[in-house]
């Protein structure tokens, strides 16, 4: 007489096999994937963080949060800039010579390091600190802007330089738009290219923008869009002050 098939046992075995394959492929279980300092977050509150962000947070998350709080910057915004700038690679070097997690240009890094008594600019944590200070200073450069406008203007300046954004603000003002509105400045950035020299002659005595023509405006627009996209995700899944790690 045949023994009845234990369907429950079969289901459990299949579940174990599937879980094992998932861990083999991803290199981690869900519990490990969303743990901070060996503290597993309850299953019903697991944030949907990607593996790249998770790996960075396990090593540098506390530093990013502590330094950001020290300088009054939302650490989740810093995390978004980090992701866009270097994809969390501490050894990243751009074709322009920007280096590290926050892709600090050598001249900017040297100035900030001397001003804030930072000795080793090559140290990953110090690079993060320099980037946070730089982002904080850029946000202070737009005191008349509010909310997301201020953040987006600062993020744009982090990418293309403060003087570029100020040139775009000048064009926005000339056209009767609000220079402290990111949508207005976003529309004005393309007008910094040499194609619009006739317009620029009415704004600057030299006949061209203070920081010169700017033809790579599309890269800056994409940059700001990406940072704000990541920032929105991190705001939704990561608390601003709760001590998760």
Alpha helices (runs of H) in 141-181, residue ranges in sequence order: 147-160, 162-174
Segment 53-73, tens digit of pLDDT = 999 999 999 999 999 999 999
The catalytic residue among 43, 70, 85, 152 is: 85
pLDDT at 6: 53
pLDDT at 109: 80
What span, in angstroms and rounded, lies between the C-alpha atoms of 157 and 136?
11
Q: Is 85 a catalytic residue?
A: yes
Domain ranges in the chain with CATH number 1.10.530.10:
51-237
Task: Please answer whether residues 179 and 169 qualify as being in contact, where contact means their C-beta atoms are separated by less than 8 angstroms.
Answer: yes
What span, in angstroms and rounded, lies between the C-alpha atoms of 238 and 147?
19
What span, in angstroms and rounded, lies between the C-alpha atoms of 159 and 2?
72
Task: Please answer whether residues 192 and 213 qualify as being in contact, where contact means their C-beta atoms are separated by less than 8 angstroms.
Answer: yes
pLDDT at 113: 81
Task: Please answer whether residues 41 and 47 qualify as being in contact, where contact means their C-beta atoms are separated by less than 8 angstroms.
Answer: yes
pLDDT at 182: 98
Segment 76-104, tens digit of pLDDT = 999 999 999 999 999 888 888 888 899 98
Segment 187-244, tens digit of pLDDT = 999 999 999 999 999 999 999 999 999 999 999 999 999 999 999 999 989 987 644 4
Segment 139-163, tens digit of pLDDT = 999 999 999 999 999 999 999 999 9
How many Cβ atoms sit within 10 Å of the Cβ of residue 217?
Answer: 19
> Regarding predicted confidence, which is higher, 51 or 43?
51
> What kind and span of H or E run contains 36?
strand 35-36
pLDDT at 18: 35
pLDDT for 31 beyond 50: no
CA distances from 61 to 4, 56, 72, 79, 236 (A): 53, 7, 16, 9, 17
What CATH number is given for 51-237 in this structure? 1.10.530.10
Beta-strand (E) ranges in 67-226? Answer: none
């Amino acid at each position: 007489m045949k023994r009845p098939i234990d369907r429950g046992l079969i289901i459990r075995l299949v579940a174990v096999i599937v879980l094992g394959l998932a861990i083999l492929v991803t290199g981690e279980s869900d519990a490990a994937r969303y743990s901070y300092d060996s503290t597993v977050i309850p299953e019903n509150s697991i944030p949907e963080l990607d593996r790249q962000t998770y790996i960075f947070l396990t090593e540098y998350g506390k530093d990013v949060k502590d330094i950001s709080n020290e300088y009054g910057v939302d650490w989740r915004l810093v995390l978004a800039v980090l992701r866009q700038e270097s994809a969390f690679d501490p050894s990243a070097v751009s074709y322009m010579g920007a280096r590290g997690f926050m892709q600090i240009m050598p001249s900017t890094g040297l100035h900030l390091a001397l001003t804030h008594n930072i000795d080793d600019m090559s140290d990953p944590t110090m690079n993060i600190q320099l980037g946070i200070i730089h982002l904080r200073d850029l946000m202070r450069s737009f005191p008349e802007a509010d909310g997301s406008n201020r953040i987006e203007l600062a993020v744009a300046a982090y990418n293309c330089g403060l003087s570029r954004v100020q040139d775009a603000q000048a064009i926005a003002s000339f056209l009767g738009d609000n220079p402290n509105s990111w949508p207005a400045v976003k529309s004005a950035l393309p007008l910094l290219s040499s194609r619009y020299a006739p317009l620029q002659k009415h704004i600057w005595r030299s006949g061209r923008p203070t920081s010169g023509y700017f033809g790579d405006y599309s890269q800056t627009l994409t940059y700001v869009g990406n940072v704000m996209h990541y920032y929105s995700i991190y705001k939704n899944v990561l608390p601003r002050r709760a001590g998760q790690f």
